[in-house]
Amino acid sequence: MLYDIFKEKRCFKLICGAGNEDTDEVEKLTALYSLAGCNFFDVCAKAEVIDAAKKGLKRAGLNDRYLCISVGAESDRHFCKAEINGEKCISCGMCEKVCAQKAVNKKDKNFEINQTRCIGCSKCLKNCPNKAIKLIQKKTDLKELLPPLVQKGLDCIEFHILGDEGREIQVRLKEIMDNFDGPLSLSINRERIGDKKLIKVVKSIVNKRKKYTTIIQADGIPMSGGKDSFKSTLQAVSTADLFLGANLPAYVMVSGGTNAKTSELAKMCGVEIQGVAIGSYARKIVREYTKRDDFFENKEVFNKALKIAKDLTERTLKYL
């Protein structure tokens, strides 16, 4: 069961991206990281993306892997997409340069965002010198969205919250629990509210559920894991320590800025996490291979990517 990998402190979750709708990439990532030892996968809440992930798992031929979809409060940028105003775009190319997802393409004289690949990280927006980019909220009705996706067979649903949404949290949480009675993962960070209120919000959710059926994903700095450094992952470990100190009947894992040094830093600091979720960094280190059309057919290409993925997985699990 999914809970076992947390009890035994051997959870490595690959975050394919809550907004990543690139089915080709998702299939490649799930197949690759499954064989590398990753046992938990988080994907976009779309039928075709779930199918792609299942196809990837089937390619790997492994049955002890778990699949999660991400949903969230409407204000969470994980569920936004960037758009470029062509009239304001000065074709400087800065957005293309900073996009870790490679979601920016040049068309004629201007640039445009590939909505399928965009994950709403906002790096392009922050680096645009002419303010030609904005984030567009993608609204979803969970009552309509979830039933057909749950029927496909999910092991977990992850609920992204910022902590200051008030009644929206309770409404959307009820919609999740009305449609799914399995493990619930809460992805939450300190961006908007103080520690005391953060713990209060999480307690209000965890204490309404059976003990240890909730996973708290301490999201350090969301979608920031491009670098492999202790500094990059420090906030995630610190946030996890906050939740562990609250002694909640839930498992705690880390995400947001996570990389190959995350579990090592947690161990050095005595922060007893039960799992690590890695997204941007894990995708980045194998992208030169996963972007290839012959990824599955070319054994040399696949095996090079597999070695890189295995190194990350093994190092992460070593320190848990």
Q: pLDDT tens digit string along 173-207?
A: 999 999 999 999 999 988 888 899 999 999 999 99
pLDDT of residue 109: 74
Cα 214–Cα 172–Cα 244 angle in degrees, nearest 5: 25
- The residues pairing with 82 across neighbouring beta strands, listed in sequence order, are 135
Q: Where are the beta strands (DSSP E) in 24-91?
A: 40-44, 66-72, 80-84
Per the domain annotation, does 148 fall within a domain? Answer: no
Confidence of residue 159 (pLDDT cuts 50, 70, 90): very high
226 within some domain: yes
At 77, the pLDDT band (50, 70, 90 cuts) reads low
Are 169 and 200 in a shared domain?
yes
Tell me if 207 is assigned to some domain. Answer: yes
8 Å CB contact between 209 and 251 = no
Task: Report residue 77 as tokens.
Answer: 């940028």
Question: Are 101 and 197 contained in the same domain?
Answer: no
Distance, in Å, from the CA atom of 287 to the CA atom of 88, rounded to the nearest integer, reads 31
**Which residue range is the domain that position 126 belongs to?**
78-137
Q: Decide if 96 is inside a domain.
A: yes
307 C-beta neighbours (distance < 10 Å), count: 11
Q: For residue 182, give the CATH number of its domain.
A: 3.20.20.70
Identify whether 147 is part of a domain. no
Q: Round to the nearest angstrom and report the end-to-end CA distance of the chain.
A: 19
| Mean per-residue pLDDT, 278-299 | 96
Q: Identify whether the C-beta of residue 29 lies closer than 8 Å to the C-beta of residue 14.
A: yes
Residue 235 lies in a domain: yes
Run of H or E including 60? helix 47-60
Give percent of the chain above pLDDT 90: 69
Phi and psi torsions of 278, nearest 5°: -125, 130
Domain count, the chain: 2
Residue 88 maps to a domain: yes
Q: Under a CB-based contact definition with an 8 Å cutoff, are residues 228 and 263 in contact?
A: no
d(CA 194, CA 233): 20
Q: Could you tell me if 125 and 72 are in contact, meaning their C-beta atoms sit under 8 angstroms apart?
A: no
Q: What's the length of the chain?
A: 320
**207-222: average pLDDT:** 93
> Residues 58, 90: one domain?
no
| Same-domain status, 91 and 70 | no
Q: Which two tokens stand for residue 55?
A: 């196809």
Give me 130's structure tokens. Answer: 């002419």
Same domain, yes or no: 207 and 255: yes
Distance from C-alpha of 187 to C-alpha of 165, rounded to nearest angstrom: 14
Same domain, 305 and 174: yes
> Any idea what DSSP says for residue 150?
H
**In a shared domain, residues 116 and 228:** no
| Domain-embedded: residue 24 | yes
Can you give the CATH number for the domain in which 130 is found?
3.30.70.20
CB atoms within 10 A of CB 319: 16
Whether 157 and 201 map to the same domain: the answer is: yes
What average pLDDT is seen over the chain? 92
- Both 131 and 160 in one domain: the answer is no
For the ranges 141-145, 223-227, 287-291, the maximum mean pLDDT occurs at 287-291
Predicted model pTM:
0.90
182, 63: one domain: yes
CB distance 141 to 85 below 8 Å: no
158 shares a domain with 115: no
